[in-house]
Structure 1
Amino acid sequence: MDTDVELSTGTGPMEIEEPTLTTNQMEPPRIHRLDQTVVNRIAAGEVVQRPVSAVKELVENSLDADSTSISVVVKDGGLKLIQVSDDGHGIPYEDLPILCERHTTSKLSKFEDLQSVKSMGFRGEALASMTYVGHVTVTTITKGQLHGYRYWKTQFGDSNLRIIHEFEESSQLLMYRSSIRQRRNPRETADLTSIQELVKDIDSNFHSGLLDIIGHCTYIGMADDVFALLQHSTHLYLANVVNLSKELMYQQVLRRFSHFNVIQLSEPSPLQELLMLALKEEDLDPEVNENEGLKEKIAEMNADLLKQKTEMLEEYFGIYIEPNGNLSRIPVILDQYTPDMDRVPEFVLCLGNDVDWDEEKNCFQTIAAAIGNFYAMHPPLLPNPSGNGLQCYKRRVLSCSPGGGSETAEDEFDHELLLEAENAWAQREWSIQHILFPSMRLFLKPPTSMATNGTFVQVASLEKLYKIFERC
């Protein structure tokens, strides 16, 4: 039976003396469509009410995957980390791009399948819900495969990994090499004398005081676009995260030499086009094309040089350039971290221009420095939407008055670009807190130069503040 529903608003036929209303009272609240992020988070609250709900959903997924062994690790009651590992059948590579989308499931395909569902879950909402309130990482391998895959999606939404082509559409998908090398002894190339000397330089020239600060500091937050505020003992410091991340990445490149997992770009990008982009970005006046021919020649020469070095770049640094000149793989320096892909053109140009290809030690050092600069946690290229940077996202729009009068110009925000910027800056700050600083505690040996080059600046000492208060 069909049912008609009628909604009445306002008053009925009775005559009621209307009170004097203010402007705000006379205008009823407008109905508007909720932003999709709000909708998603409301939906997430229906599925994942507490951390234990997430654990339940993940364990049920493991059971549905025919697992015989399941391990669960939680930190701070599940607020910091929930990790579930199992020996189930795994997830095929082809299914990973839609893994965390709503209503995607392997348990059923049509409504009639509900009559015979035997799995513990079937709606396809659990993982999607978790991505709206946290960061989800999935590492998987299926039977008979030499490569595993790591997929992650953040609560900030889709990451923009675009350089000419769109490398990753909705989130980062990492393709991992087998940890067991089939072709050679895994230590064979890492024993090169030049690499040993560079690592020895790091281990013998670090600042013990800064090492203690990094190892035992508490991250407070970002003070501005470059400096983070740290507390160590009774002191407060400003720390330059760009310098710190650049040095950490450089050291990790040398320590992981020839043993890199790799990020597979879903659409390889031509070196020639990347180099042209980088050269144009260096122009003070991009509208002037009088040096276009020279740029094309420089790009062609650098592309040819890098194609000649592709075997060494792949074997030692995990950088693969296809025979046709397309960049298709870059190394993993820190797990769960993908560099800002907008900086790939600059990175490729740096490999062509700044590397000393003639002497082995200098060659490895300059390549490691170029990779370190590329992977460093620079501020995003889009202006920071906080504070004055918000004005950069306004655009002038012409509109006509309702009566068909003259046009008027109004400023309004480019909401799509603003959302992209907010996500990029939020993702960077999350990476600094949850990836950079934990990794620095484990791996970074801060060089002595960082004590004097402004990387660390002490801004307060609680002992001195206490003395001031005592005098007051």
Structure 2
Amino acid sequence: MAENMEVDVATPRGTKRKADETQPPLGGAPRKIVALSQDVVNKIAAGEIIVAPVHALKELIENAVDAGSTSLEILIKEGGLKLLQITDNGHGINRDDLPILCERFTTSKLKAFEDLTSIGTYGFRGEALASISHIAHLTVTTRTKESSCAYKAHYADGKLVPAKPGQTAEPKPTAGRQGTQITVEDLFYNVPTRRRAFRSASEEYAKILDLVGRYAVHCSGVAFTCKKHGDSTAGISVPANATTLDRIRQVHSTAVANELIAFQAANDRWGFKSQGYVSNANYSIKRTTLLLFINHRSVESSAIKKAIEQTYAQFLPKGGHPFIYLSLEIDPQRVDVNVHPTKREVNFLNEDEIIEIICDEIRSNLGKVDTSRTFMTQSLLPGVKVPTAVTTPTQDVGNAIPETPRPPVTPATQKGRSQKPYENSLVRTDAKVRKITSMLPPGQHPLSEAAADGGGPEEMDYEYSDREPTLCRLTTVKELRAEVRDNMHNGLTDVFASHTFVGIVDERRRIAAIQSGVKLYLVDYGMVCNEFFYQVGLTDFGNFGSIKFNPVLSLHELLTVAADHEKQIADAEDELNWEEVVDAVKEQLLSRREMLAEYFSLEISEEGDLLGIPLLIKGYTPSLAKLPQFLLRLGPHVNWLDEKGCFHSFLRELASFYVPESLPPPPPPPSTAAAGEIAEAIEEDPGIVARRRQLARAIENTIFPAFKARLVATKGLLKGVVEVANLKGLYRVFERC
């Protein structure tokens, strides 16, 4: 009886049934085939094209470059999941095209299937914006050259939608510059499983920086800026006029750019030409970095990557890998671009032959390069010598600062017996060893010697306010920053970036000695400080700290002090009414007190009291004796009528105020003074002594380290830097003697 009983055994949840186990529904009829709803189709397609925020950004960058843009500004929040915004200055989108902008398969780059054989643009299928609109909130603001205003449109599921319920969905006129701004918010908000798959926002942001860096290197003539929402500094910032080598330097570091060699390869039979930069045998990293562009599209190719790695195997140590930037242009008729939903891969004819020619050219160029090999020795044991860098160059170096500097020291290993390094190749690496000032005659020891007697660093109290950092969007400030970058001298910038502070030589003429490599330089630190603090004013614009006065200072009294000083040194025939000058400058500063406080942290009360001045750098306080003159010069020397001129002239005056003042030389020791002058010879104003010690600490421990980290040395600073010794040249002189 029990054997004939039927027991329903539930199928385990998630168990996959085999085809022959599948039972038709009751009645014996097969299941009916139905068409998926359009919403499901669109979301499936969107999931194939937009896999992550970086893929959405790739499509938007390519569309912007196709639109003839010369400047791209990218803003990211939470790795692109919360906000992904790209602003370009291209030709824009016509008002009449906005209704179908986000429909699938709408494009201005392709009309017939045969056009795929000669496609010369990045995008061509017309699916990018459509896919994004199905999985995010999409807003487009665009203006063409002929249009009198910009138009703003909102999209959802490929269609125009109103910005708010009850409003019309038609694009609305708005203010805007020429070009297009695309804002993608809440990516994958309606695909929760995809959104939960992302581990961290920082990981997605790193992928975005890698992608932007690739296109920033390749797209000559296009400026790129990419930053996190709320950050004052950009993760990537590349000017439009930068060369390919400078773009690599700014995106991937100077250490890579200094070790690159250019190469070109072409072949008419296989219909291709290539160019790029590859690292030489002095440079190696743990993983291969390959920036590959085929017909100007960033793609991946495991075959090309593996072949190049095998080529480098005979030049690099075991475990070392190269850096390669390769731009490959192939006859469009030989390339199939439509093989991957995200266009990450392409197929092309004669792949093996093309790769072989490229690798042969790389191998040939590597064999021709004969540059210096560098080695590092270091000991961590206490009491032994500090780390010493040793170079063994094969070429002599000139006395002038080179426009393209020598490669920096890079770690490597040397097998076999060690050799004693030549003294003329030793490089100073520790600022705490004997300074140049110890070689000066007694009584001529400047600031650095006075600092040695001053004990520890000056104690300064700082309070952190709750003020949130502001993001500067002013075009005039960006233009001023670009002017500094355009005027950069690469060689001199690297000298400051790799220098070691030696000592202050003359505090009256504001001259210090630094060493970079095997060269010794004298630096007019007054001139360099002027440029440095101007650059700090630009980079930290609107985010300065503040030096508060307690008690507050009278603005009128400060201006009067400066006017009296100017009156004393002015020509006797000068009939200028200085009281009117004081009143005019005071009125001018009071009328602009809100702007001065917001942009420059120069705080003035309604009653005319000076509450605070800008703090540009921690650990250094400018001479307050220069404060009256600084305030008085803000009247006639600042262009208050033009925004860009105002910012430029004000920051120049502020930088001049922050430049360390010139101090009188210290008095000679008693042994060098006459008998009746001994008392005067050993006395010096205590205020000057204290200021001498403060400046000594600030210059060595604050200002010059800041040069090393932040200074963009401009060509004008060449007049303030003089090479006084080259260790190798000195040894050649001594050998002849």
TM-score band, normalised by shorter chain: 0.5 to 0.7
Q: Does 1:310 align with 2:593?
A: yes
| 1:240 alignment partner, one of 524, 544, 549 | 524
Q: Does 1:330 align with 2:613?
A: yes
Q: Distance in 1 between matches of 2:689 and 2:708?
A: 28
Find the counterpart in structure 1 of residue 666 from structure 2.
Answer: 385
Q: Distance in 2 between matches of 1:464 and 1:132?
A: 37
Superposed CA offset, 1:264-309 (max 9, x none) = 1112212221112112222445998996x81111101110111001
Question: Cα gap change, 1:307/1:175 in structure 2, threshold over 3 Å: closer, same or farther?
Answer: farther
| Letter in structure 1 aligned against 2:637 | D
Find the counterpart in structure 2 of residue 58 from structure 1.
Answer: none
Query: CA contact under 8 A between 1:174 and 1:263: conserved in structure 2?
Result: no
Query: CA contact under 8 A between 1:379 and 1:425: conserved in structure 2?
Result: no
Q: Distance in 2 between matches of 1:328 and 1:416?
A: 36
Q: Does 1:455 align with 2:737?
A: no
Deviation at 1:459, TM superposition (A): 1.1
| Pairing of 1:53-452 with structure 2 (within 5 A) | 133-135=455-457, 137=459, 152=460, 173-180=461-468, 186-187=470-471, 190-225=472-507, 226-284=510-568, 294-380=577-663, 383-387=664-668, 412-413=679-680, 418-451=685-718
Deviation at 1:133, TM superposition (A): 3.5
Deviation at 1:417, TM superposition (A): 5.6
What TM-score do the two structures reach when normalised by structure 2?
Answer: 0.36
Find the counterpart in structure 2 of residue 394 from structure 1.
Answer: none
| Letter in structure 1 aligned against 2:691 | A
Q: Distance in 1 between matches of 2:610 and 2:497?
A: 37
More helix by share: 1
Q: Distance in 1 between matches of 2:519 and 2:703?
A: 21
Question: Cα gap change, 1:136/1:179 in structure 2, threshold over 3 Å: closer, same or farther?
Answer: farther
Deviation at 1:177, TM superposition (A): 2.8
Query: CA contact under 8 A between 1:265 and 1:328: conserved in structure 2?
Result: yes
Query: CA contact under 8 A between 2:454 and 2:693: conserved in structure 1?
Result: no
Q: Find runs of 4+ consecutive structure 1 residues off by over 3 angstroms.
A: 173-176, 283-291, 409-417
Question: Cα gap change, 1:415/1:352 in structure 2, threshold over 3 Å: closer, same or farther?
Answer: farther
| Letter in structure 2 aligned against 1:465 | L
Q: Distance in 2 between matches of 1:416 and 1:180?
A: 49
Deviation at 1:256, TM superposition (A): 0.7
Q: Distance in 1 between matches of 2:474 and 2:713?
A: 24
Deviation at 1:318, TM superposition (A): 0.5
| Letter in structure 2 aligned against 1:257 | F
Q: Distance in 1 between matches of 2:572 and 2:731?
A: 60
Deviation at 1:329, TM superposition (A): 0.7
Q: Identity across aligned pairs (percent)?
A: 28
Q: Distance in 1 between matches of 2:678 and 2:458?
A: 38
CA RMSD of aligned residues (A): 3.2
Query: CA contact under 8 A between 1:175 and 1:263: conserved in structure 2?
Result: no
| Letter in structure 2 aligned against 1:251 | Q
| Letter in structure 2 aligned against 1:239 | V
| Pairing of 1:42-57 with structure 2 (within 5 A) | none
5+ unaligned residues in a row in structure 2: which ranges?
A: 1-380, 383-452
User: Which entry has the higher C-alpha Rg, 1 or 2?
Assistant: 2
Q: Distance in 1 between matches of 2:555 and 2:491?
A: 43
Q: Distance in 2 between matches of 1:265 and 1:321?
A: 11
Query: CA contact under 8 A between 1:268 and 1:327: conserved in structure 2?
Result: yes
Question: Cα gap change, 1:289/1:263 in structure 2, threshold over 3 Å: closer, same or farther?
Answer: farther
Deviation at 1:132, TM superposition (A): 7.5
Q: Distance in 1 between matches of 2:715 and 2:571?
A: 44
Deviation at 1:411, TM superposition (A): 8.0
Query: CA contact under 8 A between 2:504 and 2:512: conserved in structure 1?
Result: yes
Query: CA contact under 8 A between 1:450 and 1:456: conserved in structure 2?
Result: yes
Query: CA contact under 8 A between 1:384 and 1:421: conserved in structure 2?
Result: no
